[in-house]
């Protein structure tokens, strides 16, 4: 399937001088909270107002959204501020209600993208309607599932498309609520270069103090914009309080972001160089992670061999492994010498670790 410039018309036609900013509360709570937040956001770079009307909660008992009574509040936001408005839809009924109330853009939540039946149901409910649909990544790091959801909308005739990167569920992250796993978004961008890619640092960070840093990475990687949860009184928000910022804090973030202009060729060069360097930094970080995991396994093997008094060096396994690596490397255009050098170093370190057990 091909995603073309036509599919990003909704964004290009906005003619923005900066990456798109979608802001507003995690949840619509009261009419006053929604309208006050929207009016404050008029003083910022915000282009589209967001608010969750139906909230998919991981566990029952939390605030599940005000439901359809909140839709007229978003209509008032449109009338009073001129913002386009967007909300999450999770089934065909939500689609029908959102369309009836003039919602301009729909987004598909991370817990919905995981389910092709529901994605298809929503896509079918949208047949014949040309409204932009933004697909959040699924909660699990599965790129085909994310792409598959986009393809279902495209196949159903939705021509205005985009994706939102909100990170991936994890049990063991100190820094992130949802790990960014940037390489997945970079892969997606390689597959569909014209598809607008929007960063949701709020759900990646889960806290306020790291939003700027994560947003800067998104900017350096050439994302098309940001969705940032913004609330008139974040500490007292009914959902996701820790990660929401005030409209004034949002302005601070967008002011602090170092935006690299696309105008001159020299700047274009700098921008591309920065983007590629950032990509390299992220890949190098993953290499370190993977090497750490590999050495952890080597240690386990060392313990096993020790318990059975088996020799550490198994020469036949090592030479088979090396020839396979050389073959695999060839397919990726990597030279035999390079692969041998890298894997010798890894092998030596593995043996040292096994010796220490």
**Where on the chain is the footprint of ligand PEP (CB under 6 A)?**
26, 52, 109-111, 136, 166, 203
User: Is residue 354 within 8 Å of residue 301, measured between CB atoms?
Assistant: yes
Return d(Cα 321, Cα 314) in angstroms, integer.
11
User: Is residue 226 within 8 Å of residue 19, measured between CB atoms?
Assistant: yes
- Exposed e or buried b per residue across 22-44, where buried means at least 16 C-beta atoms within 10 angstroms of its C-beta: bbbbbbbbeeebbbebbebbeeb
Choose from ligand PEP, Mn ion, none: what does 152 bind? Cβ within 5-8 Å by kind: none
Choose from ligand PEP, Mn ion, none: what does 101 bind? Cβ within 5-8 Å by kind: none
Choose from ligand PEP, Mn ion, none: what does 166 bind? Cβ within 5-8 Å by kind: ligand PEP
Return d(Cα 198, Cα 218) in angstroms, integer.
8
CB of 36 to ligand PEP, least distance (A): 19
Return d(Cα 147, Cα 90) in angstroms, integer.
18
- Exposed e or buried b per residue across 58-95, where buried means at least 16 C-beta atoms within 10 angstroms of its C-beta: eeeeeeebbeeebbebbeebbeebebbbbbbbbeeebb
CB of 26 to ligand PEP, least distance (A): 5
User: Is residue 318 within 8 Å of residue 344, measured between CB atoms?
Assistant: no
Comparing CB distances to ligand PEP, the nearer of 19 and 90 is 90
Return d(Cα 145, Cα 179) in angstroms, integer.
17
Return d(Cα 49, Cα 33) in angstroms, integer.
13
Choose from Mn ion, ligand PEP, none: what does 84 bind? Cβ within 5-8 Å by kind: none
Residue with tokens 């030596």: 348
- Exposed e or buried b per residue across 253-292, where buried means at least 16 C-beta atoms within 10 angstroms of its C-beta: bbeebeebeeeeeeeeeebeebbeebbeebeeeeeeeeee
Three-state SS at 155: helix
Comparing CB distances to Mn ion, the nearer of 178 and 354 is 178
CB of 35 to Mn ion, least distance (A): 19
Comparing CB distances to Mn ion, the nearer of 154 and 165 is 165
CB of 343 to ligand PEP, least distance (A): 39
Task: Provide φ and ψ at 269, rounded to 5°.
Answer: -60, -50
Comparing CB distances to Mn ion, the nearer of 21 and 26 is 26
Choose from Mn ion, ligand PEP, none: what does 186 bind? Cβ within 5-8 Å by kind: none
CB of 132 to ligand PEP, least distance (A): 16
Tell me which residues touch Mn ion (CB under 5 A).
26, 240
Comparing CB distances to ligand PEP, the nearer of 65 and 302 is 65
CB of 219 to ligand PEP, least distance (A): 20
Choose from ligand PEP, Mn ion, none: what does 136 bind? Cβ within 5-8 Å by kind: ligand PEP
CB of 190 to ligand PEP, least distance (A): 23
Comparing CB distances to ligand PEP, the nearer of 234 and 302 is 234
CB of 214 to Mn ion, least distance (A): 15
Three-state SS at 264: coil
Comparing CB distances to ligand PEP, the nearer of 87 and 350 is 87
Task: Note the residue count of the chain.
Answer: 357
Choose from Mn ion, ligand PEP, none: what does 109 bind? Cβ within 5-8 Å by kind: ligand PEP
Comparing CB distances to ligand PEP, the nearer of 235 and 337 is 235
């Amino acid at each position: 399937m091909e995603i073309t410039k036509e599919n990003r018309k909704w964004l290009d036609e906005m003619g923005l001088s900066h990456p798109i900013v979608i802001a507003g509360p995690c949840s619509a709570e009261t009419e006053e909270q929604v309208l006050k937040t929207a009016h404050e956001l008029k003083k910022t770079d915000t282009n589209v107002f967001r608010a969750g009307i139906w909230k998919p909660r991981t566990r029952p008992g939390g605030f599940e959204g005000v439901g359809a009574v909140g839709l007229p509040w978003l209509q008032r936001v449109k009338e009073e501020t001129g913002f386009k408005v967007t909300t999450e839809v999770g089934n065909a009924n939500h689609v029908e209600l959102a369309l009836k109330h003039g919602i301009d853009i729909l987004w598909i939540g991370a817990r919905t993208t995981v389910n092709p039946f529901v994605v298809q149901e929503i896509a079918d409910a949208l047949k014949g309607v040309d409204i932009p649909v933004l697909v959040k990544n699924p909660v699990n790091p599965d790129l085909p599932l994310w792409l598959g959801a986009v393809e279902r909308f495209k196949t159903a005739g939705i021509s205005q498309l985009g994706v939102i990167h909100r990170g991936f569920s994890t049990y063991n992250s100190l820094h992130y609520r949802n790990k960014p796993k940037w390489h997945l978004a970079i892969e997606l961008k390689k597959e569909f270069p014209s598809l607008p890619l929007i960063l949701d640092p709020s759900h990646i960070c889960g806290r306020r103090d790291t939003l700027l840093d994560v947003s800067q990475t998104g900017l350096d990687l050439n994302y098309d914009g940001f969705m940032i949860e913004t609330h008139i009184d974040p500490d007292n928000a009914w959902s996701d309080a820790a990660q929401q910022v005030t409209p004034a804090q949002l302005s601070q973030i967008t002011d602090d972001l170092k935006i690299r202009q696309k105008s001159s060729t020299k700047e274009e060069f700098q921008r591309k160089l920065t983007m590629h360097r950032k990509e390299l930094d992220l890949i190098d970080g993953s290499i370190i992670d993977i090497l750490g995991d590999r050495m952890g396994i080597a240690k386990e093997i060392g313990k096993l061999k020790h318990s059975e008094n088996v020799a550490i060096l198994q020469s036949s396994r090592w030479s088979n492994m090396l020839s396979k690596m050389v073959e695999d490397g060839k397919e990726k255009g990597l030279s035999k010498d390079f692969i041998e050098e890298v894997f010798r170093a890894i092998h030596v370190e593995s043996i040292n670790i096994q010796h220490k057990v």
